[in-house]
Every structure is written in C-alpha cells, then in structure tokens.
Amino acid sequence: MGTAIASTDFKFPRQTSLYHGKVRDVYTVNDDLLIMVATDRISAFDVILAKPVPFKGQVLNQIAAHFLEKTSDIVPNWLQAVPDPNVSVGFKAEPVLIEMIVRGSLVGSAWREYQAGVRELCGTRLPEGLREYDVFKEPIITPSTKAVEGHDQNVSPAEIVQKNLATSAEWDELADYALKLFSRGQEMARAQGLVLADTKYEFGRLDGQLVLIDELHTPDSSRYFYADGYDNYVGGDNAAKPKQLSKEFVRAWLMERGFKGEAGQSLPDLSDDFVDQVSERYIELYEQLVGQPFIRHESTDILERISKNINHYLEVSV
C-alpha cells in the first residue's frame, strides 16, 4: 500500500483560512475560492478512526469530480478544477445547514431505526412489514441538520422552514434537485451493475442561487450494492445478504466490536490487514462505478506533490 495522508497544513498565497473536517482539509483563498484536499482519514459515527486508509482520498475526490461533471445539467455546482488526484478547487458558497438525505431502500440507519420500532422518518410515514433492503415505492427524503460539531439531527421539512434553515420555496427547490440527482445516480450505478441505495447532498447559496457543494455519490456519502446480489436477495431468491461497496461495512465492523460512537465507548484497534481491506474496497467501488481502472498515484512525498500542483494551479488560474 502507498503512504496515506493523515492531515495537511499548507500555506498558500492569499490564503485566508484553513478548516480540518472529518475527511477534507479545506483552504480558503481570497475569501471566495475553496481548495479541498481529500485526505485518507476515515470516520464512522462522527469519530475519526486512528489510521488513515491509503488511496481513500483519491477515490473520493475522483468519484465526486466524475459525478459533479455528469450532473451539472441538473443543478450548478461549486467545482472548477481538479489540479491533483486528491484536490478539488471551486467556488465558496454559503452552506445551507441541511443534509438532504435521499433513501431508495431501507438500509443503514433507517433500517436500524425501523427495527427499533420507528415508523416515521423526518415526517415520512413508513408502512408495517418492511424488511431490511426493501425498496421504497418512491425514494424518500429524510433531511438532517448540518451540525458544526457532534451528531446531525433528523428534521422534518416543516421544522426546516420553522427553524429558518430554508424558506418554503427553497425547500421545494432543494427537494426537487435532490430527487433528480438521486435518479441520475441510480441510473448511472445500474449501468455499472450497482444499486445506489441511499446518499446525501449538500447545497449552498451563491449569488442568490442554490448550488451543489461538497462531495457527490461517493462511498462516504452513499451506500452501493452489487445489483445482481441485491435484486436476488430482495426478490427472495438468495439467502446471502448483498455485498455492499460503501463505508457501511466499516460501521458494521465497529459495531461487531462494541463501538457505536456512544459516550464512554473506546475505538477498537484497526489492524493493518483491515485497513488494507478497506482500501481495496474503496478502489473496487471506484473501478466498478466509474468503469475505468484506478490509477494509484503513489509518490515518495504525497504532500509535496499536492502542494506543488495546487501552487501551480493558483499561479496560472487565480
């Protein structure tokens, strides 16, 4: 495996701020340009795990760029350039403090809540008798507040308007964009033999217009399954649960070892073998989803490569 990027701390010309997110290090230049460096950090249950995963950042960055390009006819987005395999550069927008989570199937946290007896998710009523992996008749939106720190909180559309997170007209526009993006994502996944079960979208306001920001249809923000196994399981023809190509299997690994991100719990140690498995799973998804071989951009000094490529972009483009 190549060297993994745990963190960055660059100083660029006209840089005005640096924010370390769970996965991305975000640099602001001239107060209107964002440079997002996708590190190899991995988080689960809002906790950053101890070991970075080689090539994870490159996978996320390149998948996001791929889908932002393929969906720009649906909604404008923030991306301007990808000067390095781990870097995206684009417009700075005022974030809408809502995560637009679209679910096509009963999986992940929605299934865990349903299994616990919950029958209403963010204002959407779910019928009795559903099973894990069941496909909804129509995709549903289960938005959450975008927390600066700690856990995001589920919220209904009515509460979004009441809390002034968005106007009623903006909510309608956000919902329309989210469902259209999800439909395009599902179509593109199916064409590659995958099922996009759920995902999340983030939006911002730029010059009075809603724009798509952050990542798009990556394994950190979405759950993918191989379509043949998924269809067979849902159809009752296969007893084996479908194989997923998302970060959910990392959450499952942690839960099997007693960690759910709750107070007082300790993170289990990540073995080098498990980290390698995670890396290969990310690469596998990239190749399956994008339909192209993954080029491992290994460098003796990855941080030097990233810095050089960003500085060159700033010199010739800004």
CB 5 within 8 A of CB 52: yes
Q: How many domains does the chain have?
A: 2
Q: Which residue bears the tokens 């991995």?
A: 42
SS3 175: helix
Q: Which of 210, 234, 258 is the last residue of a domain?
A: 234
Task: Give the pLDDT confidence of 25-65 residue by residue, as tens digits.
Answer: 999 999 999 999 999 999 988 889 989 999 999 999 999 99
Q: Could you give the angle at which helices 168-191 and 56-70 cross, rounded to 10 degrees?
A: 110
The boundaries of the domain holding residue 283 are 15-93+271-317
Give domain status of residue 1, yes or no. no
Mean pLDDT, residues 183-194: 97
Q: Are both 87 and 101 inside the same structural domain?
A: no
pLDDT band at 1 (very low <50, low <70, confident <90, very high): very low
Q: Are both 122 and 207 inside the same structural domain?
A: yes
- Mean residue pLDDT of the chain comes to 93
Give domain status of residue 263, yes or no. no
Exposed/middle/buried for residue 181 (C-beta within 10 Å: 0-12, 13-18, 19+): buried
CB 249 within 8 A of CB 281: yes
Task: Give the pLDDT confidence of 234-257 residue by residue, as tens digits.
Answer: 988 777 889 888 788 898 899 999
CB 74 within 8 A of CB 184: yes
Mean pLDDT, residues 280-303: 92
Q: Are both 67 and 187 inside the same structural domain?
A: no
Task: Give the pLDDT confidence of 135-165 residue by residue, as tens digits.
Answer: 999 999 999 997 655 567 899 999 999 999 9
Q: Are both 193 and 302 inside the same structural domain?
A: no
Residue 299 is classified by DSSP as -
Q: Are both 34 and 149 inside the same structural domain?
A: no
Task: Give the pLDDT confidence of 4-28 residue by residue, as tens digits.
Answer: 999 999 999 999 999 999 999 999 9
Q: Are both 100 and 85 inside the same structural domain?
A: no
